[in-house]
Amino acid sequence: MHFLKQIITQTSIMAEKVTDSLNHKKLEGKVAIITGGASGIGEATARLFAEHGARAIVIADIQDVLGQNVAESIGSGQCTYMHCDVTNEDQVKALVEFTVKNFGQLDVMFSNAGIANETISQTILDFDLNASDRVFAINTRGVVACVKHAARAMVRGCLKGGTIICTGSVLASFALPNSIDYAMSKKAVIGLVESASTGLGKYEIRVNCGCGPLKVENIANAVLFLASHDSLLITGQNLVVDSGLNAHCLTKAD
Ligand SMILES: NC(=O)c1ccc[n+]([C@@H]2O[C@H](COP(=O)([O-])OP(=O)(O)OC[C@H]3O[C@@H](n4cnc5c(N)ncnc54)[C@H](O)[C@@H]3O)[C@@H](O)[C@H]2O)c1
């Protein structure tokens, strides 16, 4: 009986701790940039970061009206919109400089802007190299520019504990015949995250990737985890949020 009481007490203490950690604001005082923040995963993440006490969130996108509306609805005291085409390195550099100049530091870079080639089927037999250039320019080149300039600002600011998160895709892990350029562009992001994380570890900067085909809120939660202290010892990883879909497909393929 005594043993049972002890277990019940311990379980309720653990439950309280879990509730505490869920209620806890995970990004209190932090400054974050979110590329592709005008819609979808980026927008949901901006809202979640705001709920979790981020001091400043800079949404960077090319859809100006949408981006401004998102920033206004979060609140101009906490969220700012800036036009930034991630394929242009000068614009990415300016975005990071604007953030540091106005908010004093950069704690979190969420490099999320990305596109798929929706109008054409990119099979190997009909692969359109010209059409694939824009996919690589945004999904790969744009992400390198964001990681590079965010990391430079974090190193320059001697900021310990900076976090960089990139949006990958489940298509980096399992193959489809008709999205070759998209899959390649996202696989490259995993290579970037793994390699950059080893070089930035000595500055206590973490670099991870998050992806999944589920609701945007599920991905936003994973990004919050990777951005916060909760994932302190996690770097160079690709966090797949897919309810086991990937594992299921791999098992089927065997
Ligand atoms: N939704 C999914 O199922 C899914 C699955 C896996 C990965 N992803 C990835 O998630 C990320 C976000 O996609 P989403 O589903 O939220 O789509 P989305 O289209 O709603 O969001 C993408 C955002 O990126 C912006 N963008 C596009 N090109 C840009 C550029 N050159 N510079 C700056 N911003 C640019 C768009 O304007 C848009 O606001 C992408 O990297 C995408 O590849 C999405």
Three-state SS sequence of the chain:
CHHHHHHHHHHHHHHHHHHHHHHCCCCCCCEEEEECCCCHHHHHHHHHHHHCCCCEEEEEECCHHHHHHHHHHHCCCCEEEEECCCCCHHHHHHHHHHHHHHHCCCCEEEECCCCCCCCCCECCCCCCHHHHHHHHHHHHHHHHHHHHHHHHHHHHCCCCCCEEEEECCHHHCCCCCCEHHHHHHHHHHHHHHHHHHHHHHHHCCEEEEEECCCCHHHHHHHHHHHHCHHHCCCCCCEEECCCCHHHHHHHHHC
**Contact by Cβ (8 Å): 81, 61:** yes
42: CA distance to ligand 1 center in Å? 7
Pairwise CA distance, residues 178 & 181, whole Å: 9
Pairwise CA distance, residues 237 & 251, whole Å: 22
Q: Which atom of ligand 1 is nearest to the CA of 44?
A: 16
**Contact by Cβ (8 Å): 117, 181:** yes
Atom 25 of ligand 1, residue of closest alpha carbon: 36
Beta bridge partners of 59: 34, 81
Global pTM?
A: 0.91
Atom 40 of ligand 1, residue of closest alpha carbon: 114
Pairwise CA distance, residues 204 & 188, whole Å: 23
> Which tokens hold the place of 34?
């979110």
Pairwise CA distance, residues 216 & 222, whole Å: 10
Question: pLDDT tens track of the chain, all 254 residues?
Answer: 454 355 445 544 544 554 455 568 999 999 999 999 999 999 999 999 999 999 999 999 999 999 999 999 999 999 999 999 999 999 999 999 999 999 999 999 999 999 998 888 999 999 999 999 999 999 999 999 999 999 999 999 988 899 999 999 998 887 889 999 999 999 999 999 999 999 999 999 999 999 988 899 999 999 999 999 999 999 999 999 998 877 776 666 54
Sign of the CA dihedral running 237, 87, 155, 95: negative
Atom 41 of ligand 1, residue of closest alpha carbon: 114
Pairwise CA distance, residues 68 & 241, whole Å: 29
> Which tokens hold the place of 218?
């599920």
How far, in Å, are 30, 189, 190, 252 from residue 81 at the CA level? 17, 25, 28, 44
Q: Which atom of ligand 1 is nearest to the CA of 168?
A: 7
Q: Is the CB of 87 under 6 A from ligand 1?
A: yes
